[in-house]
Structure 1
């Protein structure tokens, strides 16, 4: 299901690229992007909550696809910006590390929402299962998460880097658990 692919690409991108997204440059742009992505994550989770095995499943899947596609584009643009940030002052690193904690909570909630919706995904493709697509997407997303997370962390050092690394590790663990869920 195309909607599933875009959704999971977006979830991964959101969880990892928020560290490096910048509307402008430096910490203020990154923090602004983190806040925007966090809000978009809440919005996507709200739409996901509407995703049930009923007559509206296709309409909701299309809505999810649209939201996810827009989010994916924004995150890709932000990831490109992140590659331009080579270093940050210690205070800015700490601000960003603190900002990713609430984002992480929203990302984990969204991942948990997808896992909870597994029964709907099992009937999402003309009454058939999309589990294989979801599993593949999650694997690809986890790989990209690991790669991008390392790239984003390049501008961090010391305690903020440890904090951000710990948060990202938690997100990765949730993705790994979700992959297991959709592989069975």
Structure 2
């Protein structure tokens, strides 16, 4: 009896340390990122720069910072999970592929709105340098997220992941170039 109590206490303590082995943290992070991408895209879509653009540009920059924080938090959460099985790896890859087009849409929209960002500071000053800095930060964070996700996939999908991550990185590089 004296032996059983410490054993039960140890088992209970170890159960509290269980590391997730499913895709829930990954999918939750990607879902939050998708929502923030759409929200940011809505702000950018309405953005027209000019004299009234300063506050809107600051709001866009704030939402961009929030998105970067969410991506970084997702990376941290994903690094803490165990590798995924084939089914969960497939679910994650499908969501990433869907997210890929949302990323491209936002980057293309930002590039289309560059003339508006060029007059975003009181109608005469350019905020394009801030957009470039934000894009560089998001590119780095997105790359780290991609690495974290890739490290949790099954081997077959791990080998294909660089096709997606390098394409996303390329699109970021093109958008950054437009704001340089």
1:168 Cα offset (Å): 1.5
* CA-based RMSD: 2.3
Measure, in 2, the Cα distance between the counterparts of 1:153 and 1:26: 14
What residue number does 1:165 align with? 162
1:140 Cα offset (Å): 4.1
1:110 Cα offset (Å): 0.5
SS, match of residue 26 in structure 1 = coil
Structure number with bigger Rg = 2
Of 41, 46, 49 in structure 2, the residue corresponding to residue 53 of structure 1 is 49
Contact between 2:118 and 2:125, CA under 8 Å: does it hold in 1?
yes
Q: Which runs of 4+ in 1 moved over 4 A?
A: none
SS, match of residue 85 in structure 1 = coil
Answer 1 or 2: higher relative contact order, Cα 8 Å, separation at least 6.
Answer: 1
1:82 Cα offset (Å): 1.3
What residue number does 1:175 align with? 172
1:180 Cα offset (Å): 1.6
How far does the alpha carbon of each residue in 1:84-108 deviate from its partner, in whole angstroms, 9 at most, with x for none?
A: 0231111111110011111111111
Of 33, 36, 40 in structure 1, the residue corresponding to residue 32 of structure 2 is 36
Of 120, 125, 128 in structure 2, the residue corresponding to residue 124 of structure 1 is 120
Measure, in 1, the Cα distance between the counterparts of 2:77 and 2:45: 32
**Distance change in 2, residues 1:150/1:74 (3 Å):** closer
- Normalised TM-score (structure 2): 0.76
What residue number does 2:78 align with? 82
Contact between 2:53 and 2:121, CA under 8 Å: does it hold in 1?
no
Contact between 1:100 and 1:164, CA under 8 Å: does it hold in 2?
no
Gaps of at least 5 residues in structure 2 are: 1-19
What residue number does 1:98 align with? 94
Contact between 2:47 and 2:53, CA under 8 Å: does it hold in 1?
yes
Contact between 1:86 and 1:154, CA under 8 Å: does it hold in 2?
no
Measure, in 2, the Cα distance between the counterparts of 1:138 and 1:75: 13
SS, match of residue 88 in structure 1 = coil
Of 139, 142, 163 in structure 1, the residue corresponding to residue 139 of structure 2 is 142
1:174 Cα offset (Å): 0.4
How far does the alpha carbon of each residue in 1:106-156 deviate from its partner, in whole angstroms, 9 at most, with x for none?
A: 111001111111101111234222333333443344344334422331112
Measure, in 1, the Cα distance between the counterparts of 2:142 and 2:70: 16
